[in-house]
Structures are given as structure tokens and as C-alpha cells.
Amino acid sequence: MPQGGQQDRSAAVITGGDPSRNGHKPGQAVMDLAPQRAHQGGGAPRRSPDEQIADRVFRVKDPDSILLINKTQEGWMLSSMLFSFDKVMQRVRRGAGSRVPFDEAQSIMMKVEGVAQRIKDVLRRLGVSDVEYRWREPIGDIQERVKMASRRDAIVIVPRVQDTARLAPLIRGLDESLIRLRMESQSLETCMEELKTVATFVVDLHRIIQHGARLTNTPYEARGEVAKLVRQHDGHA
């Protein structure tokens, strides 16, 4: 299973929009490391690795930033989707009752809460207590955070909405729990059952983003491993 800097980095992308605090480029792919198309027909030129690192380092200095370093593919896929999720949820909430029908916005928020609750259920089964779900970063020293943000497998996001701020620590806890489960489990059967459950979180989060993107007229598509997982899920549905 690919890990760290070896993962497919094009999990999902919002393909249009306005500049944001999570990146200087409109439509920046999640994780800031997703391959960008070459400059063609007015498209954005591909940023260099140094520019990508500088962007993450700039954002990690924000006191509200969340820094994620994933050890599992499941954790990476969920974390990398947070950029698209955050942008779409901001637009859904901002447009609720006007551009977005109130009942549709409420339905999306309830689905988000459902995913969060199911992640908590898995964490409890894996022995993680609620007090370990922290929004504030476990790494308090700014120099250490800058060092971590400079890693090629780092993800740094500044949440626009509380939905993102609530999901991020759950995803972090899930990633840490899954790597521990893989390394310590005496029963691969039990391990596989939990991994199948986590795979549904990826698909469900994609569906939430897709639904919100459609309601807010925001171009969005799953790519890489996320797209592959969604196709596999649809094929077995």
C-alpha cells in the first residue's frame, strides 16, 4: 500500500473557484501536491515543489491551521478530500436558504454528522477515547510545525467551516489507529472488516462533496485512488 510521499496525490480536485486561504491558485488540487496540468489555453502553470512547500509553510503559521501527516492510504484519501469538502461546505452554508434550498443544506450537514459519528464508532472499537479528538494541533512549537509542513507528504488546511475542523482530528485519529491495527492485529479478518468500513467513509465523503458541489455549481471530480475506490464501490453496489 502506498504511503507518505509515494501515494497518488491526485485524489480529488475542485476545478474552479476563487483564491482562498488554503492556496494561492484557484482550483488548487487537494494536498497542494496533486499534479497540475501544464499551462495550456490559459490554464494555471504547474507550481514547483519549492512553491508548494512555501505555500504549506505559509499556511501552517496560521493559528487555526491543521497539519496532517498520514501513515495509511485511507487516512491520506480522507485528508486530501478535506480541501474540496471545506470549500463546498462553506458555499453550502453561505447559500443555505437562498441559492441552496434549506432542506438540501440541512440534509448535507446531517450526512456530514453521520460520517463523523461512524468514524467515532470505529475509533471507540479500536480503543480511542473521545478526549483524544483534538482540533488544536498536538505539535505546538511553530518551528517543528514548519519542519513538518515542509515534508512532501504533509497536508495543511485552514478550515473555513467547523465541519472541517471537526472532521480533521477524527481523520487523524483514524489514520493513527489503522496503522496500529495493521501492525498489532492478530486477526487479519478483524482488520479487514474495519478497513472495509473505513472505505465506505471515503465513498460517503465523496458523495457529500459531489452533492454540495452540484448544489453550489462548483466543478468537482474525484481522481486517483478516490475515483478508483468509488468505481469499485459502485461496481459492487
Share of the chain above pLDDT 70, in %: 76
The answer to whether 212 and 92 have CB atoms below 8 angstroms apart is: yes
- Distance separating alpha carbons of residues 143 and 149, to the nearest angstrom: 10
Domain boundaries, the chain: 4-236
The SS3 call for residue 30 is coil
Q: How far, in Å, CA of 190 to CA of 201, rounded? A: 18
Read off the pLDDT band of 129 (50, 70, 90). confident
Q: What is the mean pLDDT of residues 25-50?
A: 48
Please state, in angstroms and rounded to a whole number, the distance separating the CA atoms of residues 82 and 65: 13
CA gap 82, 66 in Å, rounded: 11
pLDDT of residue 186: 83
Query: What distance, in Å, lies between the first and last C-alpha atoms of the chain?
Result: 24
Mean pLDDT of 104-108: 97
Determine how many CB atoms are found less than 10 A away from the CB of residue 227: 16
- pLDDT number for residue 17: 45
Average of per-residue pLDDT across 183-211: 92
Average pLDDT over residues 55-61: 94
With a cut of 70, say whether residue 36 has pLDDT above it.
no
Beta bridge partners of 23: 20
CB 36 within 8 A of CB 29: yes
DSSP state of 67: E
When mean pLDDT is compared across 2-6, 32-36, 75-79, 170-174, the lowest value belongs to 32-36
Residue 164: pLDDT over 70: yes
Higher pLDDT, 43 or 61: 61
Q: What is the pLDDT of residue 30?
A: 35
Inform me whether the pLDDT recorded for 172 exceeds 50: yes
Provide mean pLDDT across the span 134-150: 78
In the chain, the percentage of residues whose pLDDT exceeds 90 is 63
- Cα 9 to chain centroid distance, Å, stands at 12
> Any residues with CB less than 8 A from the CB of 136 and at least 6 apart, and which?
none
